[in-house]
Chain A
Amino acid sequence: MEVLPEFKLHRPGTLAEALKIRGSLDEARYISGGTDLLANIRRGLTPTENLIELSGLSELQRFEADADGLHIGAAVTLATIGNDPAIKQDYAVLAEAANAVAGATHRAVATIGGNLCLDTRCLFYNQSQWWRDSNDGCMKYEGEICHVVPTSKRCYAAYSGDTAPALLVLNAEIEIAGPDGSRRVPLDDLFNDDGIDYLTLAPGEMVTMVHLPAASKSKTASSYTKLRIRDSIDFPLAGVAVRVTQENGKVTALDAAVTGTNSTPIRVTGCDAFVGLEFDEEQGQKFAKLVQKQTSPVQTTTTKPQYRRRAVTAMSKTLTQNLLQALSA
């Protein structure tokens, strides 16, 4: 891999200081765990002259529960989230998704904010400079065309964060801060279905906090399942998060979200159709169809899109059936 280019590392002591530094610079990137960003910088993918380190900021380390729910600072590590007994108990899907990211050594420093803002990935993008140059780059970086869909006017790099679908089914909200102030929005509003402009953050903005609503009182089950080449470390070929509640054998609520298949995490719409029904084989098939219609993997990985398309539907159906079975037991 190439050497790191020259840059200045800023290590602010407070969030206000970090935002002030950012406001004073024309160009900069925030860094926390750096597990994805540093590798990308070394590959010449995300050139920057200034890195602003956020991992030490106490404001972003907040991790507490109150009557409103659970509040997780953006710099809380995935290891902390994945091992937290309260999250495992009340927000199982989030713990499972956090634990499914990369390897244990990555998770010790990788953060929830970083995972949400993870750069989109593609077979033609996450390569060395030499490899990319031999293809004249690609639309996402230093090139003209999208090699995945050559006739396309947009980039199809895949959003690959594991925690986003989990947080979507938990109806998380996020807080965003920038040099011009802060705002709180539903997590859905962070993403954009475009491989290049995959986040709606304005220049200089960062995610500072994830808010989860208080755990549901009704009998809920949630889980995350992930398809990848090596189970110990890889990015998702597809990932599915599901949350269900059930009463007297009938579904009372169903939420599903998918990652790794499109340039944005997909919240599956139309799940209300299953409320009041028994989730039998027929409904399972219908649910799988629903997921299939809304997800569209293309050749962004070495694995064939057709396989990923079939896998994601099967995973969605099986995961939901298993969760409902666990609730009935």
Chain B
Amino acid sequence: MNSVLQMTVNGRPRADVVADNMLLVDYLREVCGLTGTKIGCDGGECGACTILADGGARLSCLTLAHSCAGQVIETVEGQATRGELSAVQSSFHEKLGSQCGYCTPGMIMTSESLLRTNTNPTEDEIREALGGNICRCTGYIKIIESVQAAAEIINASREAAE
């Protein structure tokens, strides 16, 4: 069964004919061509496919594309503005939060979602938020430092703006 699906992906409104049984991750990768979102475990156990739906972190491998009709979807490709990395992205780069890189898009999207609601997370809060994101290189310490660095950048730029 196919029907028209409308949603906003990385700021652009889209309308595509999508099958009822298409997962959001397959829609993003195969229909939108946004392969930054990764398929890791494929069953909600690893977090590599995490994207934002209306600002909240979601596992796109456990979400039907049609369930997101009308929502605002963001992927890792939508995080940079005019070629400039987001605070989370640049912090992962600077603090070596990425090793093989496969879990990184999911880590970045979950961190982004956390920092939008809490710009001063404690280490425990960061660990809790990222609890469903698995890094098989096990570079967790650097990942947590990256999120802390991103929080500092966000807070500094806020203060500068005020």
Contact size class for A? 20 to 34
A106 at the interface (CB under 8 A from B): yes
Per-position binary interface string of chain B over residues 54-76, scored 1 when its CB falls under 8 Å from any chain A CB and 0 otherwise: 00111100111011010000000
B132 at the interface (CB under 8 A from A): yes
> Residue on B with the closest CB to A2?
B42
Please tell me if the beta carbons of B128 and A104 are within 8 angstroms of each other in the complex. Answer: yes
Please tell me if the beta carbons of A105 and B59 are within 8 angstroms of each other in the complex. Answer: yes
**A and B contact pairs by CB, cutoff 8 A, 11 listed:** A6-B20, A7-B21, A11-B69, A38-B23, A55-B67, A102-B44, A102-B132, A103-B131, A105-B58, A106-B132, A232-B131
> In the bound complex, how far is the Cα of B127 from the Cα of A1, in angstroms?
28
Please tell me if the beta carbons of A108 and B58 are within 8 angstroms of each other in the complex. Answer: yes
A53 at the interface (CB under 8 A from B): yes
Contact size class for B? 20 to 34
Per-position binary interface string of chain B over residues 35-54, scored 1 when its CB falls under 8 Å from any chain A CB and 0 otherwise: 00000011111010010000
* Chain B neighbourhood of A42, CB < 8 A: 42-43
* Chain B neighbourhood of A5, CB < 8 A: 21
A12 at the interface (CB under 8 A from B): no
Please tell me if the beta carbons of B66 and A106 are within 8 angstroms of each other in the complex. Answer: no
A273 at the interface (CB under 8 A from B): no
**Contacts beyond the supplied A105-B133, A233-B45: 8 A-B pairs with Cβ under 8 Å:** A8-B1, A8-B20, A9-B1, A9-B64, A11-B66, A39-B62, A103-B132, A108-B56
Please tell me if the beta carbons of A105 and B42 are within 8 angstroms of each other in the complex. Answer: no
> In the bound complex, how far is the Cα of B116 from the Cα of A198, in angstroms?
41
Count of chain A to chain B residue pairs whose CB atoms are closer than 8 Å in the complex = 82
Please tell me if the beta carbons of B20 and A104 are within 8 angstroms of each other in the complex. Answer: no
> In the bound complex, how far is the Cα of B18 from the Cα of A9, in angstroms?
12
Please tell me if the beta carbons of A1 and B59 are within 8 angstroms of each other in the complex. Answer: no
A35 at the interface (CB under 8 A from B): yes
> In the bound complex, how far is the Cα of B47 from the Cα of A108, in angstroms?
13
* Chain B neighbourhood of A55, CB < 8 A: 67
- From 38 to 60 in chain A, residues with beta carbon under 8 angstroms from any chain B beta carbon are 38-39, 42-43, 51, 53, 55
> In the bound complex, how far is the Cα of B128 from the Cα of A102, in angstroms?
11
> In the bound complex, how far is the Cα of B54 from the Cα of A194, in angstroms?
40
Please tell me if the beta carbons of A106 and B21 are within 8 angstroms of each other in the complex. Answer: no
> In the bound complex, how far is the Cα of B45 from the Cα of A43, in angstroms?
14
